[in-house]
Chains A and B, each alone.
Chain A
Amino acid sequence: MIGRLQAPASVRHGEAFEVRVLMQHTMETGFRRDLNGKAIPMNIIDKVTCRFAGIEVFSAELGSGIAANPYLAFFVTADASGELVVEWSDDRGERGRSSAKIEVR
């Protein structure tokens, strides 16, 4: 699954920085019907996890009430330089991943 991640390349020790994620997904609610009246099955990203240097620092469970092409912004603090990894999965087992190296000054 395509997605983008934005995080500062360099941050100050212990200072909260914003991480932004944008994931491409229709987030099909299961309520829509096609032009023949048949219900379009539900299909959503339901889980997002963020790890920094292997430790989980943020996670979310999303429902069909999150807009298509989900956007999330949250904050993280770091003590030492490391890799920030965001992973997400949908209710059909499709997965996505994006990462960024964060340098701690």
Chain B
Amino acid sequence: MARDAEMRRRHFLSVAGAALTGAALDAWPQTFQPPQDIAPLIAKITGGATSVRSGVEIELPALAENGNSVPMRIKVASPMSDADHVKAIYILAERNPRPLLATFHLGSHSGRAEIATRVRLAGTQRVTVLAELSGGRFVHGVADVLVTSAACLDESTMGT
């Protein structure tokens, strides 16, 4: 059990760190970044398998008042049985300096493939949610969010 958890953690770190490294990360907050292509990141998670855009519902405000804290609810259609359930849910933000925001591990004990959290969004962008199913398939959903005050970037009022 502990080994599984550790392996998962290492996988997460290797995937999360894959997006940007070193100097690029250092310079990140100084300039407004355009959305990146997260297809390579998705491919790394799925191991190359294609994901079908189906069955993933994302509740995100159309306009986020402050990118520092954007409420999000994810629902993946699944019987959540031993034979057919969601194993993991990945949240990806194409414009964030670290596009993989979080990974959630579920199982047949979950009863429902539904997660809620609050995320940081570094500017107006498309959020992608990837779900890994027990059979090895992947499904995903997307949501576009307008962000007026970007996380990670808008630090001009830090002194206040």
5 tightest A-B contacts by CB? Answer: A16-B111, A65-B101, A77-B111, A73-B116, A67-B118
A59 touches which of B80, B105, B112, B152 (Cβ 8 Å): B105
Which residues of chain B are near A31, meaning CB under 8 Å?
A: 28-29, 97, 152
Judge whether B5 is part of the interface by a CB distance below 8 angstroms: yes
Q: Do residues B12 and A61 form an inter-chain contact, with CB atoms below 8 A?
A: yes
A residues 47-92 with Cβ under 8 Å of B?
A: 47, 49, 52, 55-68, 70-77
A67 touches which of B5, B12, B69, B158 (Cβ 8 Å): B69
Q: Do residues A60 and B102 form an inter-chain contact, with CB atoms below 8 A?
A: yes
Output the least CB separation between A57 and chain B (Å).
4
**Whose C-beta in chain A lies nearest to the C-beta of B70?**
A67
Task: Given the known inter-chain contacts A32-B155, A49-B5, please indicate yes or no for A74 contacting B104, CB distance below 8 A.
Answer: yes
Output the least CB separation between A3 and chain B (Å).
14
B residues 108-160 with Cβ under 8 Å of A?
A: 109-120, 151-152, 155, 158-159
A-B contact count (CB 8 A): 116
**Whose C-beta in chain B lies nearest to the C-beta of A39?**
B26
Tally A residues with Cβ within 8 Å of B: 36
Which residues of chain A are near B93, meaning CB under 8 Å?
A: 65
Q: Can you sample 15 A-B contacts with CB below 8 Å? A: A16-B112, A31-B97, A31-B152, A33-B29, A59-B5, A60-B105, A63-B100, A63-B102, A66-B101, A70-B118, A72-B117, A73-B73, A74-B115, A75-B111, A76-B109
* Chain B interface residues toward A at CB < 8 A: 1, 5, 8-9, 12, 16, 26, 28-29, 68-70, 73, 80, 91, 93, 96-107, 109-120, 151-152, 155, 158-159
B114 touches which of A46, A61, A70, A75 (Cβ 8 Å): A75
Which residues of chain A are near B5, meaning CB under 8 Å?
A: 49, 56, 59
Q: Do residues B110 and A74 form an inter-chain contact, with CB atoms below 8 A?
A: yes
B109 touches which of A29, A55, A61, A68 (Cβ 8 Å): A55
